[in-house]
Amino acid sequence: MDTSRRFKKGNESEVLIQTETNREVLKNAPVENIVTAAHRVAGRSVEPCLFGQGGTCCRNCNMGPCQIIDGVEQMIGVCGADASTVAARNFARIVAGGAASHMDHARGVVMAFLATAKGEAPYEIKDGIKLRQVAMSIGIDVAEKSKEDLAIEVGEKLMAEFGQQEGGLSFVKRAPKPRQELWKKLGIGPRGVDREITEIMHRTHMGVDQHYENLLFQAARTALADGWGASMIATELSDVMFGTPVPIRSRVDIGVLKEDEVNVTVHGHEPILAEALGMAARDPEILEECKKVGAKGINLAGVCCTGNEILMRKGFPIAGSFIQQEVVLATGAVEAMVVDVQCIMQNVSRVAEQFHTELITTSDKAKIPGATHISFDEHRALDIAKEILKRAIKKFPERGKHFVPVRSMDVVAGFSHETINYMLGGRFRASYKPLNDNIINGRIRGVAAIVGCDNYRVTEEMHVEIAKELIANDVLVLVTGCAATSIGRTGLLSPEALDQAGPGLREVLEAVGCPPVLHMGSCVDNSRILIAATEMVRTGGLGEDIYQLPAVGAAPQWMSEKAVAIGQYFVSSGVDVVFGPTFPITGSKVVSDYCFNKMKDVYGGSWHLAKKPSEFVNIMVDTINQARKDLGIDKKKERVLFDMAMRRELGSPAIPDAGCGGHA
């Protein structure tokens, strides 16, 4: 089903607009001829390069670029590199780029964490229980240590893992033992967070590693350094510092902007700045400044994954996902868009300058022409946040003609691993056993993660269509990143959506009060899913390793390199992953066969390629069904009520007499 809409204004050609709200805003925008990514895609006179799309364009030296055609001797590289070498090199570099973004994000979190523990930043250690759990999981003795001293020790140990050259990463030890042994056997256990990026860049330099399989092993190692290293570090320490998410209601879509408040959108991926803005927005000094200009307060709204961070922990609304960032500004109702790093289109500067909106960059790594730059420093976080908000307040009286759509949707977010554990088992018996039991008895078919970006080149709301089909088939769906926002816009992140779930899934989730799709956070928070999968294995009944779980992942509209890095650390952890509608290795038959087939023999999980929602769902449900069959739980068993005679026939020890210490 094609849920996209076409937008036509004036004499412009028709443009694909993926959401109803985008269409509504652009139709009513107070400024004519606003150009967005949708217009740029529609206006291109040529299709994407097939060599680049299939991964067989090589520009790693100055004798090229070389366009390689698989199997054609005359179309190998000048150096002799064939399609398999070039595709594997390019894939490895994509993984390196994506993993590096998460690694640098995590480094910033650790630096802020240490500053907080030392009393040098305005944040606090909010989750002392999780701090102790994290400390014990990485081998630190927690006895007789203050919260601050323990946090410093945790921060320093994890910071050292970024630069270490040998050994292993602490959080890798959380993986099931068979998985750790496999990584050791394959020689792909990550040694240090940054170490693996350097090696990938060296190996893919002209004239170094030229064997596709060897290159792909290093890509796997680098991805593991992301998922079980950097991303997990970022998520765990963010939880300790800012609070572990719990279920919280909020709203998503552009309609969360407010007429009578100063609208400040925060866009990017790092939670440190957003947390400071949230603190400053409640400051009496800032509220008084708002009154002076006739505003009721600050309306802080997220865009992209920073939005998911502040939604999960604070309940701040999300104005838009990646494909909405320009359109949010096209309302003319935003006083300031504050950005840090990753997924920020340069064109937001051009859209902002057509209004009173000030675009403010805050990371020295990420400046944009035409933007105001205010360098963020966690040691002065609150002062800088106030300075930013005061600039936004001054813009409020300049707000001219604008259009704020009514459309927004209720969501429930905040489903961290800890929350799921608690909701299933309660405070004293927190456990994944109810989930495992209901997968075993067939009420829940399995678990699927829909993650990643949204993409202007994909004309269908793939996330939504796939999620609807999966929950109708009794599959519990986990979502992160822009996929979560996309699905949230349609109401699937609310318990009210349970009427769209299959009878088994609905019965289980109604009992615990969960929506059929669980929002687990930003793209860096995919590490939560790794922890959840490991906990399902540890709980028992569904195999001894992650690859045996009735679980699957998908990124139907992937856009960034990060998505590929995430996909590879899931595949390397034993999970089948479906990407689409394109994949950057299809120009090589050998590498395609390795990724789509042979990786299954190596890791227990492999890549899959799909183009339409129905193809995604078929692959995902078939994968879950095969895992159920392999576990021997594919056939529904009738419940049997045992009488006393049947119990005696089991030959188990006699049931003790009634008493406080007896065990049934």
pLDDT tens digits, residue range 536-575?
A: 999 999 999 999 999 999 999 999 999 999 999 999 999 9
Question: Rounded to an integer, what is the distance from CA 74 to the centroid of its chain?
Answer: 42
Q: What is the pLDDT of residues 375-389, one digit of tens each?
A: 999 999 999 999 999
Does the pLDDT at position 659 exceed 50? no
CA distance 265 to 245: 21
- C-alpha 645/C-alpha 215 separation (Å) is 62
Closest CA relative to residue 321, chosen from 448, 411, 189, 226: 411
Q: pLDDT confidence of 503, banded at 50, 70, 90?
A: very high
Backbone φ and ψ of 512, nearest 5°: -105, -5
pLDDT of the residue at 7 = 41
**Percent of the chain beyond pLDDT 70?**
92
More confident residue, 644 or 499: 499
Supply the pLDDT for residue 636.
61
Instruction: Give the residue ranges of DSSP H helices in 337-448.
Output: 347-352, 381-395, 417-425, 433-440
- Is it true that the peptide bond before 434 is cis, omega within 30 degrees of 0? no
So what's the pLDDT on residue 33?
A: 83
pLDDT at 639 over 90: no
Q: Give the dihedral of Cα atoms 242, 569, 584, 596; nearest 10 deg.
A: -140
Predicted local distance difference test score (pLDDT) of residue 662:
33
- Identify the DSSP state of 173: G
How open is the CA angle 162-103-85, to the nearest 5 degrees? 100
Question: 252 pairs with which residues across the strands?
Answer: 318, 409
State phi, psi for 517 to the nearest 5 degrees. Answer: -125, 125
pLDDT value at residue 500: 96
- Interstrand relation of 551-555 and 576-579 (parallel, antiparallel or unpaired): parallel
Residue-level pLDDT at 396: 98
Q: What is the 3-state secondary structure (H, E, C) of 85-130?
A: HHHHHHHHHHHHHHHHHHHHHHHHHHHHHHHHHCCCCCCCCCCHHH
Q: How far is CA 77 from CA 64, 136, 200, 590, 597, in A?
A: 8, 51, 20, 17, 26
Average pLDDT over residues 443-449: 97
206 and 89 Cβ atoms separated by less than 8 Å? no
Helix, strand counts (H, E) of the chain? 27, 18
Rg of the chain in Å (alpha carbons): 25
pLDDT at residue number 461: 84
> Please, how many CA atoms are within 13 Å of residue 226, restricted to the half-sphere of its CB?
34
Indicate if the pLDDT at residue 641 is higher than 80. no
Q: What is the mean pLDDT of residues 468-482?
A: 97
Distance CA 552, CA 214 (A): 26
**pLDDT above 90: residue 638:** no
Q: Binding site annotation covers 290?
A: no
Instruction: Check residue 47 and give its pLDDT.
Output: 76
3-state secondary structure of 493: coil
514 is in an annotated binding site: no
pLDDT above 50 for 3: no
Q: Is the pLDDT of residue 64 over 90?
A: no
Range from 285-289, 346-350, 607-611, 643-647 carrying the lowest mean pLDDT? 643-647
- pLDDT score recorded for residue 427: 58
Residues 85-101 have pLDDT tens digits of 999 999 999 999 999 99
The Cα-based distances of 450 to 232, 288, 315, 479, 529 in angstroms read 18, 43, 22, 5, 11
Average pLDDT over residues 284-301: 98
> Cβ(362)–Cβ(275) under 8 Å?
no
- Residue 646's pLDDT is 46
Confidence of residue 645 (pLDDT cuts 50, 70, 90): low
User: What local confidence, expressed as pLDDT, does residue 445 receive?
Assistant: 97
Q: Tell me whether residue 402 is annotated as binding.
A: no
Q: Of 220-229, 251-260, 318-327, 653-662, which gets the smallest average pLDDT? A: 653-662
Tokens representing 511 are 């009992």
Residue 529 CA to residue 33 CA, distance in Å, equals 42
Burial class (CB in 10 A: 0-12, 13-18, 19+), 144: exposed
pLDDT-derived band of residue 651, with 50, 70 and 90 as boundaries?
Answer: very low
In this structure, of 261-275, 299-313, 347-361, 454-468, the range with the lowest mean pLDDT score is 454-468
Domains of the chain: 78-242 (1.20.1270.30), 254-398 (3.40.50.2030), 415-631 (3.40.50.2030)
Out of 37-41, 279-283, 615-619, pick the least confident: 37-41
Q: Tell me the pLDDT tens digit for each residue of 237-250.
A: 999 999 999 999 99
Q: Which two tokens stand for residue 72?
A: 């054609």
Q: Say how far apart CA 393 and CA 335 lie, in whole Å.
A: 7
How far lies 101's CA from each of 87, 88, 532, 572, in Å?
A: 22, 20, 23, 19
* Residue 79 is assigned to a ligand binding site: yes
pLDDT for residue 12 = 38
- Residue 660 marked in a binding site: no
